[in-house]
Structure 1
Amino acid sequence: MRKLLILGAGTAGTMAANHLRTKLGTDWTITVVDRDRGHHYQPGYLFVPFWMEPERVVRDRVPLLADGVTFVEGQVALVRPEHRRVELADGRVLDYDWLVIASGTRPDPSLVEGMAEALAGKDAVHHFYTLDAATALRDALARFDRGRLLVHVSEMPIKCPVAPLEFVFLVEDHYRKRGIRHQVDITYVTPLDGAFTKPVASEALGGLLKDRSIRLAPDFAAERVDGPGRRLVAYDGRELSFDLLVTVPPNVGQQFVMDSGLGNDAGFVPVDKHTLRSVEHERIFVLGDASDIPTSKAGSVAHFATETFIDNFLAAVDGRPLPNVFDGHANCFIESGRGQAMLLDFNYDTEPLLGSFPAPVVGPMALLKPSRVNHLGKLAFEQIYWRMLLPGHRLPVPTAMSMAGKRRPKE
Structure 2
Amino acid sequence: MKNLVILGAGTAGTMMANHLRPKLSKDLWNISIVDQYKTHYYQPGFLFLPFDTYTEEQVKKVGKKFIPKGVNYIQKKIEQIFPKENKVQLEDETLSYDILIIATGSKIAPEEVEGMKGKNWHKNVFDFYTYEGALALRNKLREWEGGKLLVHLTEMPIKCPVAPLEFAFLADSFFIKKGMRDKVEISYVTPLSGAFTKEKSAATLGYLLEEKNIKLETDFAIERVDNENNKIVDYGERAIDFDLLVTIPTNMGDDVIARSGMGDDLNFVPTHENSLQSKDHENVFVIGDATNVPASKAGSVAHFESETLTDNILLYIDGKPLKEEFDGHANCFIETGKNKALLIDFNYKQEPVEGTFPFPGIGPLKLLKESVFNHWGKLAFRWIYWNMLLKGISIPFVSRNMTTAGKKLD
* TM superposition score category, shorter chain reference: over 0.9
The correspondence for 1:61, drawn from 60, 63, 82, is 63
Q: What is the match of residue 211 of structure 2?
A: 211
* 1:2-401 paired onto structure 2 within 5 Å: 2-26=2-26, 27-51=28-52, 52-88=54-90, 90-118=91-119, 120=121, 122-396=122-396, 397-401=398-402
Residue type of the alignment partner of 1:243: D
- Measured after TM superposition, the shift of residue 327 of structure 1 is 0.3
Q: Which amino acid aligns with 1:45?
A: F
Q: Deviation string for 1:320-370 (max 9, x for gaps)?
A: 111351000000001110001111100000011111111222111111111
Asked whether the equivalents of residues 118 and 125 of structure 1 are also in contact (C-alpha less than 8 Å), the reply is no
Equivalent position amino acid for 2:360 in 1: P
RMSD of aligned Cα (Å): 1.0
Give CA deviations for 1:115-138 in whole Å, capped at 9, x if unaligned: 011453x22110101101100000
Quickly say closer, same or farther: Cα 1:216–1:378, change in 2 above 3 A.
same
In the alignment, is the contact (CA less than 8 A) between 1:124 and 1:227 conserved in 2? no
Q: 1:99: how far off? A: 0.2
Partner AA of 2:248 in structure 1 = V
CA distance in 2, matches of 1:367, 1:118: 43
The CA deviation at 1:62 is 1.1
Q: Which residue of 1 aligns with 2:407?
A: 406
Give the secondary-structure state (helix, strand or coil) at the position aligned to 2:15. helix
Mapped to 2, the partners of 1:201 and 1:280 lie a distance apart of 35
Matched position secondary structure for 1:115: coil
Aligned to 2:225, the other structure's residue is in SS state strand
| In structure 2, C-alpha distance between the alignment counterparts of 1:310 and 1:124, rounded to whole Å | 44
**Post-superposition CA distance 1:36-68 (Å, at most 9, x none):** 111110011001101211122111111101110
Using the alignment, how far apart are the partners of 2:403 and 2:239 within structure 1?
A: 43
* SS class of match (2:384): helix
**Is the Cα–Cα contact under 8 Å of residues 38 and 58 in structure 1 kept in the other structure?**
yes
Aligned pairs, number: 407
Counterpart Cα distance in 2 of 1:219 and 1:406: 31
Kindly provide the CA deviation profile for residues 242-281 of structure 1, in whole angstroms up to 9, marking residues without a partner as x: 0000000000010010110100010000011000000110
1:86 and 1:351 map into 2 onto residues whose CA distance is: 39
Distance in 2, matches of 1:252 and 1:392, equals 26
**What SS is found at the alignment partner of 1:332?**
strand
Q: Distance in 2 between matches of 1:119 and 1:286?
A: 36
**Native 8 Å contact 1:309 1:324 kept in 2:** no
- Whether the 8 Å CA contact 1:222–1:233 is kept in 2: the answer is yes
Work out the CA distance in 2 between the residues paired with 1:349 and 1:323: 18
Q: CA deviation at 1:179?
A: 0.9
Structure 1 residue runs of 4 or more that deviate by more than 2 Å after TM superposition: none
Please state how far the C-alpha of 1:228 moved relative to its aligned partner.
2.1
Report the AA paired with residue 17 of structure 1: A
Cα separation, 1, equivalents of 2:227 and 2:246: 12
* Segment of structure 1 superposing worse, 259-268 or 140-149: 140-149
CA apart distance, 1:145: 2.1
What displacement does 1:91 show? 2.7
Post-superposition shift, 1:92? 1.4
Q: Distance in 1 between matches of 2:359 and 2:18?
A: 30
Q: Secondary structure at the match of 1:77?
A: strand
**TM-score, normalised with respect to structure 1:** 0.97
Partner of 2:403: helix, strand, or coil? coil
Report Cα offsets for 1:75-103 as digits up to 9, x if no partner. 11100011110011x23111111000000
Over residues 166-214 of structure 1, what are the superposed CA-to-partner deviations in whole Å (9 max), with x where a residue is unaligned?
1000011000111110110000000100000121100000000000010
Say if 2:315 and 2:321, in contact at 8 Å, map to a contact too. yes
Partner Cα separation in structure 2 for residue 367 and residue 237 of structure 1: 39
Q: Is the 8 A contact 2:148 2:244 kept in 1?
A: yes
Amino acid corresponding to residue 106 of structure 1 in structure 2 = K
State the 1:383 CA deviation.
Answer: 0.8
| Distance in 2 between residues matched to 1:318 and 1:118, nearest whole Å | 55
Structure-2 separation of matches of 1:60 and 1:123? 29
Alignment partners' CA distance in 2, 1:40 and 1:368: 28
Q: SS of the counterpart of 2:159?
A: coil
Structure 2 contact 308–323 (Cα < 8 Å) conserved: no
CA distance in 2, matches of 1:119, 1:306: 40
Asked if 2 retains the 8 angstrom alpha-carbon contact of 1:148 and 1:241, the reply is yes
Gaps of 5+ in 1: none
Alpha-carbon distance between aligned partners in 1 of 2:380 and 2:234, rounded to the nearest angstrom: 39
